Structure 1
Amino acid sequence: MHSLPLLSLSIWTPIAFGILILLIGRDANAPAMRWLALVGAVVSFLVTLPVVGGFDVAKAGMQFAEQARWIEPFNIQYQLGVDGISLWFVPLTAFITVITVIAGWEVITERVALYMASFLILSGLMVGVFCAVDAMLFYVFFEATLIPMYLIIGIWGGQRRVYAAFKFFLYTLLGSLLMLVALLYLYSQSGGSFNILDWYTVPLTRTAQILLFVAFFAAFAVKIPMWPVHTWLPDAHVEAPTGGSIVLAAIMLKLGAYGFVRFVLPIVPDASRELAPLVITLSVIAVIYIGLVAMVQTDMKKLVAYSSIAHMGFVTLGFFLFSNLGVEGGLVQMISHGFVSGAMFMGIGVLYDRMHTRAIADYGGVTTKMPHFAAFAVLFAMANAGLPGTSGFVGEWMVILAAVRENFWLGLLAATTLVLAAGYTLWMVKRVFFGPVRNEHVEALRDIGAREFLILALLAAGTLWFGLYPKFFTDPMQSSVAQLLQHVAASKLQ
């Protein structure tokens, strides 16, 4: 037993700091608000560390459980817990929030308090998604994350920020409405419980499972996003400020993938097995087709945005192979993508702050002017291409092995991502960083300072740590994944 409500502290500490900044923040005291936001982000991250340190890797069920009455007439509880599936996303979310606060330190000069508060509040809400055991609490956190991200894109984004913000909001909101219907149906079938774990044993007909699968799929596939409901993501990434792109890629896309393993696989296991070929097909299309789309992009941010869609295709592919290696590989890919994609968007932001262009053709020879930055950029590019020794290799390799065990040709198709990712990533690196200096703007570039070096060093440390010693990250998830797959295998319609 733990005397402190660690999960509640992980959720509400950043939200409390965010609200405080909103209440006292003014343009005149922007420097103070930056420091207060940094303190709030660091404290929020430190609060999550005892959750990792106190986690029992041998247990498969929920740990650090908290429960309190919330909306009694409908038996809606404030109920929290983490298992091996959700554990790592709590500190990862808080860590990425520290990165985004530092990333916006000098770049954001208008409405600084609102900007910092939005990220802190968003951080707490996303942690809430990963910790919620009550389905309505999950839904509230899941939907509430739209508001701060909508503001981040709509206020501090690029020229088409309003269009991108509306598209992001409408796509994800409409998908979630079907999920709400599914939650209410499960509530009625379970005898009036919103506890997600109670729903794992609710008897459902084949028709009910198929319909519930479609409802959940609509919400989570859009959030990931899967092909063909992915079109909102490149627009959102291109228009979002650097911090918004980092959070969107590193954490928010994971909310949808997490929904698959928390809701879809255990609640509708028979429909999941029956419709697995559909999901696998869509995942392979994302890996191959979207990889080819990334190859022809002329905008660095769009290239990395499409790359994210392709890499997230590996996550859903791994989940629907129904093997320990595949599901663990999908989870590992989610965590790795948090480091690598966040670093890639941070690097693009570093260049954009200096050149005010994301067009690949406007660069060339950056290495000669920014050698320290180029070293980091090439490292993250290698991780994005799946180089062994980096985090980008581990999850992809686990999923490819799981796919080969299922079907050799499926594994071969999945493995094409290693070729495609190397193609579009290294081609971008070649044109941006190497070759002759092409224009006077590149000639005037200055290398990264201490603030940017710190951010990139932290992300590099995570990328290399994960790549060189993945066991530290995979051990806690094994028991929970094994329990999940045993439940899926045992549940069969008569």
Structure 2
Amino acid sequence: MTWLLALILLPLVGAAVVAGMKSNDKLAVATALAVTVVELLLVIPFWASYSPSGARIQQATTMDWIPSFGIHISFGTDGISLVMIAVIALLVPIVVGALGLTDKLPAGRSAGGFLSLIMLQEALTIGVFAATDVFLFYVLFEIMLIPMYFLIGGYGGPNRQYAAVKFFLYSFLGGLIMLASAIGAYALSVDKYGKGTFDWATLVTVVRDAPKGTQIWLFLGFFLAFAIKAPLVPFHTWLPDAAGQAPIGVAVLLVGVLDKVGTFGFLRYCLPMFPEASKALAPLVLVLSVVGILYGSILAAGQTDMKRFIAYVSIAHFGFIALGIFTFNEQAMVGSVSYMLNHSLATGMLIVVVGLVIMRGGSTRISDYGGMAKVTPLLGGMLLIAGLSTLSLPGTNSFISEFLVLLGSFVDHPVYTILATLGMVLAAAYVLWLYQRVMQGPVRGDALFLPAPTGSPTPTSAGSASAVGTATVVDSKALKAIKDLGVREIAILAPMVVLIIGLGFYPKPVLDTVTPSVQQTLSAVQGGK
């Protein structure tokens, strides 16, 4: 058994075991944490076994599934899928460890049920990134919607059912359109070889030789599915609802990992399989990317809900990733792939920290907070680190990715690049605005105070505070007994802080890993073997 199969099967086994622990939440959390930490540790030798100078697809394994139709259970990895598998292996134990700190399970729901769905989601998502049979990819692409649907619909906010159905229908419809294009590619292989196949490497050589018009139609089927998943404007409307209603841990996986299936699909399927169509339709994608950057940034600045704020920030960031991919420039594309990883780290940490804020205050509204850093300075510092990474401050992990995207895209598309740069300016404004509103200034906001008793005196001096027994009174209102970060919370956030700062100063391991795969993708687009 290869390392890759072990990474897929281990969380599946863990999900089955934990699903039966519905009566013991503590045991379920401990078991799930042990399984997901082992999964993370397995990624270390898996990464070490990958050779950037080796074959495009490594750790390959293939088994017959439906041989009469050329369908196989076939997995393998390249540098691009490797970094995404690594990031999901990192985020899942953080989500498991944060359970209870960032989310309270609804009444009647068990930790075993929740965590089994989380681990099932992990296994299916790794399978999507590793699949090298196009039909298998489609099947996993659709099946991975199921655990996410139940995680949002069963454990989310007041409008969770609406958000879950909208998420499912958007992605499912996109997948069906992709299936139609996959069948079209299969038909081309029948015409060429007399026997059809869904093998990715074979279809790349078959479809790329098809007429340009045929490529465009087949490209659109794949592109639409991935544009919905990414999400690119105007296919984005499901994300704010889903992220806004999802539990914090689920939002980490939704925004940090599942969305990357879309941009991964551009790189693995759209560009190598349909090079002529990719080049012909690139101007349209570049326009959508820049519109997404500016649109997402402007709407993020106008949000009143912290979770929806993060969703619109992510829409803007995905515009940068798509911009770098469809400029067909090596620097820009390397920047996009590293951005996929770095966005997961920055946004994942931002969502977790926001979840810790919400659990303390009981509200997602930005206006219900203020001056919180005076009460919880460590939490304020963590929000600042996550925010600075989100706005791509030099010295944080996201900076090199955004810099490479802009540097590479400016060569052939200076106008688009200049417009995209405005998104960086807006990012600094909306991230610092969020931090200032929530953490700075005088302590204020309904989320930080106990409900005022009937007949309480009217405040006479803004910002005045006095001690009454063990409570603090500010403007005649009693401040909640809000604790700063504890040891467990610091342990959860520490790995992301280390990676955000470490990759900010030394991104070479990631860049060296993804660059050969990017070069091979560009070679396929440009007509190389």
Tell me, yes or no, whether TM beats 0.5: yes
Match of 1:84 among 49, 71, 79: 79
Match of 1:11 among 8, 11, 25: 8
Question: Could you tell me how far apart the structure 2 residues matched to 1:195 and 1:108 are?
Answer: 44
- For residues 399 and 60 of structure 1, do their structure 2 counterparts lie closer, same or farther at Cα, with a shift above 3 Å needed? farther
Paired position in structure 2 for 1:466 = 503
Paired position in structure 1 for 2:17 = 20
Question: Could you tell me how far apart the structure 2 residues matched to 1:383 and 1:231 are?
Answer: 25
Tell me, which stretches of 5 or more residues in structure 2 are unaligned?
191-195, 449-478
Paired position in structure 2 for 1:193 = 197
Whether the 8 Å CA contact 1:270–1:491 is kept in 2: the answer is: no
Whether the 8 Å CA contact 1:58–1:479 is kept in 2: the answer is: yes
- For residues 491 and 205 of structure 1, do their structure 2 counterparts lie closer, same or farther at Cα, with a shift above 3 Å needed? farther
Deviations 1:464-484 (A, max 9, x none): 122111111010111121111
Aligned-pair CA distance for 1:441: 4.5
What is the aligned length? Answer: 487
Paired amino acid for 1:470: P
SS for the counterpart of 2:72 is strand
Question: Could you tell me how far apart the structure 1 residues matched to 2:181 and 2:419 are?
Answer: 34
SS for the counterpart of 1:303 is helix
Question: Could you tell me how far apart the structure 1 residues matched to 2:51 and 2:66 are?
Answer: 31
- For residues 270 and 440 of structure 1, do their structure 2 counterparts lie closer, same or farther at Cα, with a shift above 3 Å needed? closer
Q: Structure 2 matches for 1:132-143, cutoff 5 A? A: 132-143=131-142
Paired amino acid for 2:86: P
- For residues 86 and 333 of structure 1, do their structure 2 counterparts lie closer, same or farther at Cα, with a shift above 3 Å needed? same
SS for the counterpart of 1:88 is helix
Deviations 1:309-334 (A, max 9, x none): 00011111100000111111110110
Aligned-pair CA distance for 1:491: 6.7
Whether the 8 Å CA contact 1:343–1:456 is kept in 2: the answer is: yes
Aligned-pair CA distance for 1:72: 2.0
Whether the 8 Å CA contact 1:58–1:476 is kept in 2: the answer is: no
1:346 aligns with 2:352: yes
Paired amino acid for 1:172: S
1:49 aligns with 2:44: yes
Deviations 1:314-358 (A, max 9, x none): 111100000111111110110001101111111111011111111
1:264 aligns with 2:286: no
Question: Could you tell me how far apart the structure 2 residues matched to 1:486 and 1:76 are?
Answer: 27
Deviations 1:416-448 (A, max 9, x none): 121011011100100100000014752322111
Give the TM-score of the pair, scaled to structure 2: 0.90
Paired position in structure 2 for 1:97 = 92
Match of 1:448 among 473, 485, 494: 485
Match of 1:254 among 227, 252, 260: 260
Whether the 8 Å CA contact 1:327–1:481 is kept in 2: the answer is: yes
Paired position in structure 1 for 2:214 = 208
Question: Could you tell me how far apart the structure 1 residues matched to 2:521 and 2:443 are?
Answer: 54
Deviations 1:52-87 (A, max 9, x none): 011112125111111111222212111111111211
Deviations 1:84-120 (A, max 9, x none): 1211111111111111101114544432111000000
Paired position in structure 1 for 2:162 = 163
Question: Could you tell me how far apart the structure 2 residues matched to 1:129 and 1:448 are?
Answer: 36
Aligned-pair CA distance for 1:459: 1.2
SS for the counterpart of 2:24 is helix
Question: Could you tell me how far apart the structure 2 residues matched to 1:324 and 1:142 are?
Answer: 28
Two-structure CA RMSD over aligned residues (Å): 1.3
Paired amino acid for 2:79: G
Q: Structure 2 matches for 1:38-437, cutoff 5 A? A: 38-106=33-101, 107-109=103-105, 110-191=109-190, 192-202=196-206, 203-437=209-443
Question: Could you tell me how far apart the structure 1 residues matched to 2:423 and 2:497 are?
Answer: 22
Paired amino acid for 2:265: G
Tell me, which stretches of 5 or more residues in structure 1 are unaligned?
none
Whether the 8 Å CA contact 1:122–1:145 is kept in 2: the answer is: yes
Whether the 8 Å CA contact 1:34–1:105 is kept in 2: the answer is: no
Whether the 8 Å CA contact 2:157–2:245 is kept in 1: the answer is: yes
Aligned-pair CA distance for 1:264: 0.3
Whether the 8 Å CA contact 1:374–1:433 is kept in 2: the answer is: yes
Question: Could you tell me how far apart the structure 2 residues matched to 1:140 and 1:448 are?
Answer: 42
Whether the 8 Å CA contact 2:354–2:383 is kept in 1: the answer is: no
Paired amino acid for 1:257: T
Range moving further from structure 2, 348-357 or 269-278:
348-357
Question: Could you tell me how far apart the structure 2 residues matched to 1:92 and 1:170 are?
Answer: 26
Question: Could you tell me how far apart the structure 2 residues matched to 1:402 and 1:195 are?
Answer: 32
Question: Could you tell me how far apart the structure 1 residues matched to 2:499 and 2:159 are?
Answer: 33
SS for the counterpart of 1:334 is helix
SS for the counterpart of 1:77 is strand
1:484 aligns with 2:521: yes
Question: Could you tell me how far apart the structure 2 residues matched to 1:125 and 1:458 are?
Answer: 24
Question: Could you tell me how far apart the structure 1 residues matched to 2:447 and 2:91 are?
Answer: 31
Question: Could you tell me how far apart the structure 1 residues matched to 2:496 and 2:42 are?
Answer: 20
Aligned-pair CA distance for 1:408: 2.3
Whether the 8 Å CA contact 2:367–2:445 is kept in 1: the answer is: no
Paired amino acid for 2:277: A
SS for the counterpart of 2:157 is coil
Question: Could you tell me how far apart the structure 2 residues matched to 1:291 and 1:440 are?
Answer: 27
Paired amino acid for 1:337: H
Deviations 1:250-280 (A, max 9, x none): 1000001100011000001001001000000
Question: Could you tell me how far apart the structure 2 residues matched to 1:70 and 1:60 are?
Answer: 25
Question: Could you tell me how far apart the structure 2 residues matched to 1:151 and 1:81 are?
Answer: 29
Question: Could you tell me how far apart the structure 1 residues matched to 2:143 and 2:94 are?
Answer: 22
Give the TM-score of the pair, scaled to structure 1: 0.96
Q: Share of identical aligned residues, percent?
A: 37
Paired amino acid for 1:355: G
Decide which structure has greater helix share: 1
